[in-house]
A and B are shown apart, each in its own frame.
Chain A
Amino acid sequence: MTTLTTKPPTVPFDRPTTGRGRRRMPVGKSFASLILIAAAALTIFPLIWLVLTSLREQNTVFGGPFIPTSITFDAYSKAWTSTNFGLHFLNSLWITTATVAGVVIFSALAGYAFAKLRFPFKNVIYVALLATLMMPSTSLIIPLYLQLKSFGLLNSQAGLLILYISSSAPFSMFLMRAFFQTLPDELVQAARIDGAGELAVFWRVVLPLARPGIATVIIFQFLATWNEFIYANTVLQNTDELPLQPVLFSLVGQYATDWPTLTAGLTMSIVPVILVYVWMQRQFVAGMTLGAVKN
């Protein structure tokens, strides 16, 4: 970065709050802005192209100008009806919602216990959970497939749900524990002295204070579950039960040359994640700081 200037080496980045250019930078503010705007444009371009392609007339997809001269929503209605999109959308929605609910409940309970309660073997259990926290789904897919088969849970959404909850709850527990640790111990003790039972302390006193932590878990889990592919593609075979991702994958072969329909399907599938992201963006950044930096 210092090669970009002839001035003597200076701090290559500045704290945002420092005013009056006291710490001069090797790269000017406007130059930095320029690089960033270019990066953002490059990043967003494929997505703009995606949406524009889905709006094109079937016969103008290939070789037309980048900005279509006329737009049509035909591809959307075609994608919706011909792929039974609504059904798979609802499958995704309910599987995701149920997973999020399960993960929030289990991870909040355990996170609180690990942060605030004293019981024998606490650390042993915690370390066991922590050690395999990041176990990749790629590694577990073969044994899990066989296991669900022997439990009779193969090809059922319930089986998929169990996999989702059990594989992601420990990570959320880790986040929740970090969050609960920021709450003062006196809070729990005071509630106990007031005669509240352990569950009441958790439910009425601690949980309401944990809203930002829970919001973080909800967003992360929503995105992860909505986008999950390998388990969904392996566990479920019955077309009617499939969530969106495996269906979108199968569209590639089906609509290999019908790009408007294909891109319309892709576009519709990302609406929920964009909504969740925009809606809860502040929480997202807060969660990132909590999860990534403080641990």
Chain B
Amino acid sequence: MWKLQRTERLAGYGFVLPITVLFAIFVGYPILFAIYLSFTRWSGFGTPQFTGFANYTRMFNDPVAAGAFLNTIVFAVVTTIIQTAIPLFIAVLLSRVWKGLSVVIRTILFIPGIISFVVSGVLWKLIYDPNLGTLNNALKAVGLGDLAQHWLSDPALVMPSIIVVSVWAAIGMNMLIFFAGIQGVDPTYYEAAEVDGASRWQQFWYVTVPGLRVVTAIVVSLNLMNGFKVFDIIYVMTGGGPSHQSEVFGTYLYGLAFGSTAGSIPQLGYGSAFSVVVMLLCGVAVLVQITLTKRANR
């Protein structure tokens, strides 16, 4: 018996070893490294120069950082609200229509979600093209030419235009999660509620809504996190422009470290400070999920 346990223990360690080692080297260590770098000034050559909280105080006096902060938060919150509400509504509708139709609709709605943000970003960039794009052409064709816009170069429109693409891509996945959640609500709860004389509205409110609370918590936190860390779609569509109007933390830190924002000198320390802020924001998203789930289980 003792030998059996020993082999089990050895197997346990052996089985988790590869993933743990890889994770420690390529995720755990980089997290600590980013935190360390955020307190330094470094161009990538020589040794990092310790500067304390200088990068963080610099953030507060950097107008681009302030804009990126606002854009990141607005993007995350707005996409989360839309990408939770619409998919929930669609999932509820889906659970009531003829099954064949439901399958077809689900399949179609999901397709944008499996396409890369590079492809969808480029595709929508063409659609938004002010002179040749389909959107403006369509508006002109139906006599609404006045509504034609410079979608991606107008400072007021660039974020909403990008949010539309995010929503387009995200609806399918979230809808599927809600749909699975609706299927998972125990039917006996409805029967019990009916026996107790609950009205249909009460059944929705006291059975369906609580039944979906955990799922909603997951969707909200996933979308918040995706919003906080957004990079691909904005980098591809606008690169943060025009003149930083669609800059978010992801694109800004990337520019500071690898791109044109840095000029000729990469600012790895300052960029890392934004990495740390994105990590913290994602931590907030996790806390949101834990809080919502706890409330759901009460």
Contact = CB atoms under 8 A, between A and B. Distances in A.
Contact of B231 (A125, A230, A252, A259): A230
Contact of B200 (A9, A146, A223, A248): A9
B271 interface: yes
Interface in A111-165: 112-114, 117-120, 122, 125, 128-129, 132, 134-147, 162-163, 165
Interface in A239-273: 245-246, 248-249, 251-252, 259, 262-263, 266, 269-270, 273
B92 A44 contact: no
B27 A198 contact: no
Given A33-B97, A113-B12, A119-B12, A252 B201 contact: no
B118 interface: yes
Of the four ranges (under 10, 10 to 19, 20 to 34, 35 or more), the interface on chain B belongs to: 35 or more
Contacts of B111: 43-44, 47, 274, 277
Contacts of A112: 15
Contacts of B214: 293
Given A135-B282, A143-B31, A248-B118, 13 more contacts: A16-B99, A36-B97, A132-B31, A134-B286, A135-B27, A138-B230, A138-B250, A141-B257, A199-B11, A227-B114, A246-B118, A262-B122, A270-B116
B22 interface: yes
A118 B5 CA distance: 8
Contacts of A110: 15-16, 18-20
A99 B183 CA distance: 33
B132 to A, nearest CB: 5
Interface stretch (B146-154, B155-163, B273-281): B273-281
A25 interface: yes
Contacts of B215: 292-293
Interface in A56-75: 61-63
Interface of A: 1-2, 9-17, 23-25, 27, 29, 32-33, 35-37, 39-40, 43-44, 46-47, 49-50, 53, 61-63, 106-107, 109-110, 112-114, 117-120, 122, 125, 128-129, 132, 134-147, 162-163, 165-167, 169-170, 173, 192, 197-199, 202, 223, 226-230, 234, 245-246, 248-249, 251-252, 259, 262-263, 266, 269-270, 273-274, 277, 281, 285, 288-289, 292-293
Interface string B198-238: 01110110001000001100100000010011111001100
A203 to B, nearest CB: 11
B37 interface: yes
Nearest to B269: A142
Interface centre among B19, B25, B201, B257 (most CB of A within 10 A): B19
A132 B89 CA distance: 32
Contacts of B74: none
Given A135-B27, A274-B111, A227 B116 contact: yes
